[in-house]
Amino acid sequence: MRYIVTGGAGFIGSNLTATLARDHEVVIIDNLATGHQENIEHLLGHPRVTFVEGSITDLDLLAETFPGADGVFHQAAIPSVPRSVKDPLASNEANVTGTLDVLVAAKDCGVPAVVAASSSSVYGDTPALPKHEGMVPNPLSPYAVTKLADECYGKVFSDLYGIRTVSLRYFNVFGPRQDPKSEYAAVIPKFITRLLAGEPPVIYGDGEQTRDFTFVADVVQANIRAMESDARGVFNIAGGRRISLNQLASILMEITGTRCDPIYEAPRAGDIRDSLADISRARKAFGYDPQYSVEEGLFQAVAWFRERV
């Protein structure tokens, strides 16, 4: 098969590309705004991998690249709630306009399927747990709004133009190649790098907020299974278990061999309190089956970061 991976130099996209390249031809499209070329350096000499540096908002570039593709894995985005709160226009341009451009290019170029990254943030802070796809969305940040808009565009393009679209609502993905340096980095790489440096983790709020963390290899599995199936629509992708940030810090202290009291700061705007996914719909539709516990994933993540600190 010939697949396009937008955002293929990013955290999830680079892991997905590496797995796809074992058996398929892969074209990476990335403008390196939030992705990093070092994530794909080991793939650039691969005979089945092509890297195109450019933006998903460049419709002409997509029109040149998409013909002959068997599917698009759409991972490109500005993936940050705090960043979207600070700059909602940039998030909208990348996440909504960019997704619309991808769908238009897929339609015009005859690409049969688009599997796109969505987010658990679309659920907002509704108290019911676990979150299931039939719940009414309640986005609390511009980022969450962009992902909900992307899902709506996906459904419309599926209904109107016959493209098979799948939106995967990721729950707190972590693992190797996740960027800890950004001001808007996710909690796990920030915790790991601070602990490896002998510094206490910083927790926004009381630390009792819970998350359903998902190891990146399970997200890769979900994308490929969804593409190879006949599934359409929205699906939760998660580990199916929640832990608090205080528990997370404790586990990481044990793995890294560091002991220190976390620093607690004021909660951040747009953050949700609790998160837990019902993943039964993805299990039934395309056999999604998470293979990694949080602890197993954290061991791998710490090992990867330890080599780079």
Over residues 248-277, the mean pLDDT reads 93
- Identify the active-site residue in 3, 123, 143, 288: 143
CA 267 to chain centre: 23
| Residue 24, in any domain of the structure | yes
Give domain status of residue 111, yes or no: yes
Tokens of 28: 């990476």
Q: Domain range spanning residue 19?
A: 2-173+215-239+278-290
Q: What percent of the chain has pLDDT over 90?
A: 92
Does residue 273 lie in a domain region?
no
The count of structural domains within the chain is 1
Within a domain: 168: yes
Reply yes or no on whether 143 is catalytic.
Answer: yes
pLDDT of 44 reads 93
Identify whether the C-beta of residue 288 lies closer than 8 Å to the C-beta of residue 279.
yes
Q: Among 148-152, 176-180, 184-188, 217-221, which is the least confidently predicted range? A: 184-188
197 in a structural domain:
no
* Strand 243-244 relative to strand 173-174, pairing: unpaired
Let me know if residue 100 belongs to a domain: yes
Q: What is the mean pLDDT of the chain?
A: 95
Give the residue ranges of DSSP H helices in 171-277: 187-196, 216-228, 245-256
* Residue 309 confidence class, pLDDT cut points 50, 70, 90: low
Q: pTM of the entire structure?
A: 0.95
The candidate with the shortest Cα–Cα distance to 44, out of 5, 24, 18, is: 18
Q: Assess whether pLDDT exceeds 90 at residue 269.
A: no
Query: Looking at the domain assignment, is residue 308 inside a domain?
Result: no
For residue 20, tell me if it sits in a domain: yes
118-139 pLDDT tens trace: 999 999 988 899 999 999 999 9
Residue whose token pair is 């016959």: 162
CATH number of residue 104's parent domain: 3.40.50.720
